[in-house]
Structure 1
């Protein structure tokens, strides 16, 4: 199970103290006795694919860490950190840094106000990734906002060939084979006409990087949205394939962008 997005107070299961972003120093997030009237103890839990961001209601800052290592301190930041929130049978949740087995840990489980919350390795190991919600097969990938589909330009097999949004015409260059990569629940997208992949060849991974055709497979995580699905690069679960500006124009680029749950970031998988 996993929790649903919403606004929460986050309490430690041992001490029953609350996630509190300090009003004296917004860089500090610590444990504190609950004060129900204080918005600095309230947090938006926002879904990003299969993972979450945790954002303070009062400050608008995110609960973040600088990498996965022992005793890395939780702090407030304008830059979100991506978390998995696997829920136990009793309703409790491990706040787990995406891509690691590190969890948020209340130092010594102390009830004292101001107790810091560093990361520690989780025991037992992080739960397995949820199964892919779309079965392997051949699909046309249709944008939820525009109805245009992911198209490999002219069916070109060249390394770095353009991939963009285009009106559906039934061509094999608009059909994609979704298949397991062999690594957990991650999938690849192979073009039916060329047997090349939707990937990012020769590009350093960053927000705004464009999707291109490549002989090198790229792994993705597929996750459910309210309509359609998000397609997230495996190395960046908080980011998704995004039809730029949600434009209906043929030739509109497709890039990787932070998941903000907009319809131009959602895709229908329609059997081809």
Structure 2
């Protein structure tokens, strides 16, 4: 059972529950606005993310998700609430004075605690693999949802490195 309490500071990869596709920062780009995409898992640095807990909550603690290669945060572009708002890599601090569009909850989606939905703190939208498409370079965006729907586009497994 994965516990996000124990993953503070850990380096992980996220694999889509339905496809096995990894959350990937395109070519490890360091520029603000670099697209986050779904891509076949290869374990490269652009698919590795450091989790930094930014509060003391024991229920749904808040995290930043920071790309290992680019040192940029997972960012819901301009904090958009609309379905399809792109998710990008964007500069920002790891632990203090962070915009809410760079803060995330991990919501347990199964009884065993091995599958999660990644929810943006500012909007309540979830990290979504567009149409559950397994093709390389599939867009990952923010999308509304509900845990009880168990939408496979929004379900993620964590691989610890």
Q: TM-score range by the shorter chain?
A: 0.7 to 0.9
Alpha carbons 2:79, 2:122 under 8 Å: kept: no
What secondary structure does 1:182 align onto? coil
Q: Write the distance in 2 (CA, Å) between the matches of 1:207 and 1:271.
A: 29
Alpha carbons 1:200, 1:211 under 8 Å: kept: yes
Please tell me whether Structure 1 or Structure 2 has the larger radius of gyration of its CA atoms.
1
Alpha carbons 2:21, 2:134 under 8 Å: kept: yes
- Partner of residue 166 from structure 1, selected from 34, 39, 52: 39
TM-fit CA distance, 1:267: 0.4
TM-fit CA distance, 1:134: 5.8
TM-fit CA distance, 1:200: 2.4
User: Which residue in 2 is equivalent to 1:182?
Assistant: 55
Q: Write the distance in 1 (CA, Å) between the matches of 2:156 and 2:91.
A: 23
Alpha carbons 1:163, 1:211 under 8 Å: kept: yes
User: Which residue in 2 is equivalent to 1:224?
Assistant: 108
Alpha carbons 2:76, 2:141 under 8 Å: kept: no
TM-fit CA distance, 1:203: 5.5
Rate the CA distance shift 1:143–1:133 in 2: closer, same or farther, 3 A. Answer: farther
TM-fit CA distance, 1:175: 0.2
- 2:137 maps to 1:251: yes
User: Which residue in 1 is equivalent to 2:75?
Assistant: 199
Q: Write the distance in 1 (CA, Å) between the matches of 2:29 and 2:126.
A: 24
Task: State the aligned residue count.
Answer: 141
What's the CA shift string for 1:60-107, capped at 9, x where partnerless?
A: xxxxxxxxxxxxxxxxxxxxxxxxxxxxxxxxxxxxxxxxxxxxxxxx
TM-score by length of 1: 0.49
Where has structure 1 moved over 6 Å in runs of 4 or more? Answer: none
Alpha carbons 2:79, 2:123 under 8 Å: kept: no
Rate the CA distance shift 1:199–1:191 in 2: closer, same or farther, 3 A. Answer: same
TM-fit CA distance, 1:235: 1.9
User: Which residue in 2 is equivalent to 1:209?
Assistant: 85
- 2:156 maps to 1:267: yes
Alpha carbons 1:161, 1:212 under 8 Å: kept: yes
Gaps of 5+ in 1: 1-130
TM-fit CA distance, 1:255: 1.1
Q: Which has the higher contact order (CA 8 A, sep 6+)?
A: 2
Rate the CA distance shift 1:231–1:265 in 2: closer, same or farther, 3 A. Answer: same
TM-fit CA distance, 1:207: 2.1
Gaps of 5+ in 2: 93-97
Q: Write the distance in 1 (CA, Å) between the matches of 2:6 and 2:21.
A: 20
What secondary structure does 2:38 align onto? strand
TM-fit CA distance, 1:141: 0.5
Q: Write the distance in 2 (CA, Å) between the matches of 1:133 and 1:243.
A: 25
